[in-house]
Structure 1
Amino acid sequence: MIVEKNTPIPMSDGSHLMCNVFRPPVAGHYPVIMSFGVYGKDVHFEDGFHPQWQKLKAVYPEIDQGDSSGEYLRWEVPDPERWVPDGFVLVVVDSRGSGMSPGYLDLYSPRETQDYYEAIEWAGVQSWSNGKVGLSGISYLAIKQWQVAALQPPHLAAMIPWEGAVDHYRDLLRHGGILSNSFTQAWWPRQILVNQHGNGQTTHIDRQTQGITTGEPLPVEQLKGNRADYPAEIAKRFLWDAWFSDHTAKLERITVPLLSAANWGGAGIHLRGNFCGYSGSGSAEKWLFAHIGTHYESFYLPHYVAIQKRFFNHYLRGEENGWPTEPRVQLAIRRVDGTAVLRKTSDWPIPGTQWQKWYLDSNALTLSSSAIPTDGRITYDCLGDGVTFKSTPLPQEAEFTGNVKLKLFVSSATTDLDVFAVLRCFDPQGVEVHFIGAHEVVPVACGWLRASHRKLDLDRSREYLPYHCHDESQKLVPHQVYELDIEILPTSLVFPKGYQLAITIMGRDFNLNPQGRILHNDPQDRPIDEFGGAGTIFTGGEYQSYLLMPLIG
């Protein structure tokens, strides 16, 4: 394998980005796989993300043995030693202002996306390229794929956005209108600032050169001036605006073949966007995969690498391997023991889905398949543990796979209310079923909505999938009843006979992960005087609150 480190890619504004090129030793024209991001093209996976590395090694000890020495393994980037021998060129790019690429660091920005476009076009005309470029990578590197594909680079031939958000507001930063602050607070210093170009205090060392991975050190004040303050931009924006629009991919403009890979346990970043990206993109040739496990293990395991190679072999080198005949939607149907069985189907939602209403009864705290004739109400602490509604033990096995919606009638003692909706499963002994998520242990599914953001876009909403405008704040009149349609993220689980379906409605993040990555506890976004009162849920009679579940026959 030929390794060319710190190869400059010229940009149209006179600047340049630095990339590493990994290519076969034999001269020729090869398909290109490109990854573009902010985590440092020269930071080894183990050095930058040691806890995740240990988890990956436990699941896949061969990751740095046998076919790969692991020397060039990077976080959320394909392993060159597993791709180049099969006749691919890998190009790993430090985005502007990160790693070895100088310039102004502006995360997810239109300029950064334009840079990606120009990097694709550069790779498409190199002497070692066959003119077809595919995109690969997880999370940030997947989000950038959605963004740049909407610009339609001529040399872009296919893409695999693996667990990456699309909508900067709804998928990533303000779930249901509620600020998701904890991830950004930790992520910004640990993964962004440490990799900023010119950061002489970085702890990351290039294993090949023994130098720091961020180039020549710059003064601290200059470093501050060389970056946009991403957390501050988020904190000052409560509604959907032009900034969020500029940072969100225009899905209808995407026409390139794509394989969108979602993680059922990826609430907050690694789930919703991949389903919306699949459904909303303009591509005629597109596939949706949904898998289990952590997001990094699923990307690197041989089974998943083989799928990625088969997809790229067809679209980047024209290999007739039967890929176009693969069913468009392939889902890991989860079981309560943590395993899954693959289902291949033609569309999403799954054709033939039976949308089943489970009515909330606040008098008995139950879920019922029949409407509740008697009015009821229950009051709870709007910043507390809330209330749980359970079905009776299921008389037979039932699979729920699809989108979920909670219709809720509520009032608040104050002028606003944050609803945290948690879909749950309990075994016959009353023990809750949990799952390994993208980063942490998760329940069946989660959803969120700020009551003042209840306004729906009726053209984009579906009965099973409400779409909120988030373009104005409609404050509540205390103690007046309001109707909410709450999106709960897509999910899949086979409930065995005797298990119970449950929905918890609460006023804070679910306590499985008190130190979790995706939390919503910023005191400035959720001041106690406005969000800390008493909330009331109304059920039965004229207020038929219900949970809409996707039953698969």
Structure 2
Amino acid sequence: MQALKSEIRDGMRIDWDMPIQMDDGLILRADIFRPIHEGKFPTLLTYGPYGKGLSFQEGYKTAWEIMEKENPDVMRGTTNKYQNWEVVDPEKWVPNEYVCIRVDSRGAGRSPGFMANNNARETKDIAQCIEWAASQEWSNTKVGMNGISYFASNQWRAAAVQPPHLAAICVWEGWNDGYRESHRHGGIACTFRKNWMEMQVKTVQHGVGDRGKRNPITGDTVCGPETLSPEELIQNIENVWQKVLDQEMLTDWYVERTADLNKVTVPVLSSANWGGQGLHGRGNFEGYVRSASNQKWLEVHGGSHWAPFYTDYGIDIQKRFFDHFLKGIDNGWDKTPPISLLVRSPGEKFVQRDEHEWPLARTQWTSCFLNAGSMQLENAVPGSNSELSYEMMGDGVTFSLPVQAEEVELTGPMALKLFISSSTVDADIFAIVRVFDENNKELTFHGALDPHTPIAQGWLRASHRKLDPSKSLPYRPWHSHDEKQPLVAGEVYELDVEIWPTCIVVPKGYRIALTIRGKDYEYDGEAAVLSNMKNPMTGCGPFMHDDETDRPPAIFGGEVKILTGPNYPSNLLIPVIPKKQST
């Protein structure tokens, strides 16, 4: 049994490696940061696989350096010694009389066991950790969950099982649909999960022990205390990527890793990133709209995936939310408008605006019809039928609206209806909404991870075109992914492609365009690199779809024909937002 270490340092009482026993007897390990003085305090709990003892600065070096340079407010008011990837800095919360708990998930860091990320056992573990925290002598019995990405996505599932003492969740850039948002976009396997396991998870698996990092404060092994053989490590972790490759269609494995949003009833703050294409963005919007809570808020920002959470802006929002629901402070949060958008303009400029529903009720849903003859997007169905072809592994084809005669705002989800035929039994559609300036230079933004992200993206495998009519909306088609429907070469098929929500104010003189291709978007410029990501980032960050096992060239290297006109009204539905009338 590991000995519990408890000490007072930097104005906090810290309990290192606190044991929390699960119902199957397994002991999870947690670090607990709490006020020194006696009292009853609310708790912020996180549970995840990244090693609670691995410092942000060492584990995610380039991300830390970028944040340090671009967001100096993150560094103020803290020694930064306790910074950990994607979880709160306790030095900014404990002085406000919060307890911060970091639990190494089953099989990760200093917690033993078999690691199967996001499964039902993990959700049960989280619920039991919540109830354990609520029962401690220093607890006021109210537990909240707060964190980014993994530490956000598991909040949806934890809330759905309704542990009695979970009082509120702040889901900061967190997916909830294990199939559509995480592993298979439109049915196409996303290789992020393969690289993520190798770069971010296996490196901090329990049992790496002496071969891994050490906690810079305690000196203990991050992934200890035992050191297991490579063979033992393999036996202790689920092969996620093989599961994805083996299961193209929606199975119980994906459903187990998907939150039942109808059972999420606690107060919710869902914080999305306009640049969260490929993992988190959709989850925050869907989670806000479809969760059953009658106390829920949506906040949407831009910038990097990690930094806004730690900034004064982010922490102020989080503290007002949790002060209200975990401390019962009457701070006016209950009168906060349900939606806060940082409306995006060129030059990484953002203007905050309150709204009251999503999508916005005043949206002017506008159909832009593709014309394969002129390569234009037009405001009416073209008068005659036309068609054009592209090689799936090429750069695809681009349709453009005329140059904007006046400024226009696009905010919301989009949908693309396409009529296609393929030279093979399938086709992968990559739909990219783009904007070009007066000099025909593409406008990109700093996405959640990639600094050159396009305006919006959507994906669909043609054999997954079947829709669920009970869930589909005109602006958000919902594919059932329960029946593979191969194509007959040369025959025409109607596809509805979901394009994840976005926001852009397009200036006068700029041009909106749609590119359709059979492979991932590529930015025409220098690739970016993050130390914790395997592939250089060329516009899609780590969210690529380039595995030949899932996309054999014999099938997905063929030719696609797009058909337009009266018989084939291919069109892009965009959310035009009229200016608010002054009162």
Distance in structure 1 (CA, Å) of the matches to 2:384 and 2:459: 27
Report what 2:568 is aligned to: 543
Name which of 182, 192, 195 aligns with 1:186: 195
* Counterpart-to-counterpart distance in 2, 1:140 and 1:453: 27
1:57 equivalenced with 2:54 (yes/no): no
Following TM superposition, by how much is the alpha carbon of 1:61 offset from its aligned partner in structure 2, in angstroms? 2.9
3-state SS in 1 of match to 2:306: helix
Partner of 1:44 in structure 2?
55
Per-residue deviation at 1:516?
Answer: 3.3
Task: Give the AA of the match of 1:473.
Answer: K
Contact 1:34 1:90 in 2 (8 A): yes
Contact persistence 2:74–2:312 (CA under 8 A): no
8 Å contact kept, 1:257–1:285: yes
Over 6 Å off, 4+ runs? none
2:221 to 187, 190, 212: 212
2:93 partner SS = helix
Alpha-carbon distance in structure 1 between the residues aligned to 2:265 and 2:30: 26
Q: How does 1:55-454 map to 2 (within 5 A)?
A: 55-64=66-75, 66-181=76-191, 183-200=192-209, 202-215=211-224, 216-440=226-450, 441-454=452-465
Select 2:481's aligned residue among 446, 461, 470. 470
Give the stretch that moved more between structures: 383-392 or 213-222: 213-222
Q: Is the 8 A contact 1:171 1:268 kept in 2?
A: yes
Query: Contact 2:211 / 2:227 at 8 angstroms: preserved in 1?
Result: no
- What amino acid is aligned across from residue 551 of structure 2 in structure 1? R
Conserved 8 A contact 1:194-1:202:
no
Counterpart-to-counterpart distance in 2, 1:175 and 1:398: 29
Unaligned runs of 5+ in 1: none
Look up the match of 1:497.
508
Question: What residue identity is the alignment partner of 2:172?
Answer: W
**Structure 1: distance between partners of 2:472 and 2:212:** 47
TM-score norm. by structure 1 comes to 0.98
SS, match of residue 442 in structure 1: coil
CA shift for structure 1 position 285: 0.3
Q: Does 1:24 align with 2:35?
A: yes
- Native 8 Å contact 2:203 2:212 kept in 1: yes
Aligned partner of 1:507 in structure 2 is 518
Once the two structures are TM-superposed, the CA of residue 62 in structure 1 deviates from its matched residue by 4.5
Tell me, in whole angstroms, the C-alpha distance in 2 between the residues paired with 1:527 and 1:171.
Answer: 22
The answer as to whether partners of 1:412 and 1:536 remain within 8 angstroms in 2 is: yes
2:557 & 2:497 partners in 1: Cα distance?
A: 20
In structure 2, runs of 5+ residues without a counterpart are 1-11, 524-536, 579-583
SS at match of 1:21: strand
Q: For 2:133 and 2:265, locate their aligned partners in 1 and report how far apart those are by CA, in whole Å.
A: 20
Contact 1:360/1:545, CA 8 A, preserved across alignment: yes
1:520, distance to aligned residue in structure 2 (A): 0.2
Q: State the distance in 1 between where 2:273 and 2:470 align.
A: 28
SS at match of 1:309: helix
8 Å CA contact retained: 1:195, 1:202: no
Q: Is the 8 A contact 1:420 1:508 kept in 2?
A: yes
In structure 2, distance between residues paired with 1:72 and 1:337: 33
Residue by residue over 1:103-125, the C-alpha shift from the partner in whole angstroms, topping out at 9 and shown as x without a partner, is 11111110011000000000011
CA contact (8 A) 1:257 1:286 kept: yes
Contact 1:47–1:204 (Cα < 8 Å) also in 2: no
What count of residue pairs does the alignment treat as equivalent? 551
Look up the SS of the partner of 1:425 in the other structure: strand
Which of 492, 510, 517 pairs up with 2:542? 517
Instruction: Report if aligned partners of 2:273, 2:302 keep a CA contact under 8 Å in 1.
Output: yes
Shift of 1:396: 1.0
Contact 1:390–1:501, Cα closer than 8 Å, also in 2: yes
Alignment partner, residue 23 of structure 2:
12
Measured against aligned partners, the alpha-carbon deviations of 1:483-526 in whole angstroms (never above 9, x if no partner) come to 01100010000111111110000010001244830100010111
Whether the 8 Å contact between 1:60 and 1:301 is mirrored in structure 2 is: yes
Residues 149/378 of structure 1: CA separation in 2 closer, same or farther (3 Å cut): same
Identity in percent: 44
RMSD of equivalent CA atoms: 1.0
Task: Please say if residues 360 and 546 of structure 1, whose CA atoms lie closer than 8 Å, have aligned partners that are also in contact.
Answer: yes
* Alpha-carbon offset, residue 202 of structure 1: 4.2
Alpha-carbon separation, structure 2, partners of 1:101 and 1:325: 41
Q: Which residue of 1 aligns with 2:534?
A: none
Q: Is the 8 A contact 1:32 1:91 kept in 2?
A: yes
- Code of the residue aligned with 1:410 in structure 2: it is I
**Could you say which residue in structure 2 is the equivalent of 1:534?**
559
Q: Which amino acid in structure 2 is aligned with residue 467 of structure 1?
A: W
Q: Deviations over 1:416-474 (max 9, x none)?
A: 00000000001111111000011002000000000000000001000111000011110
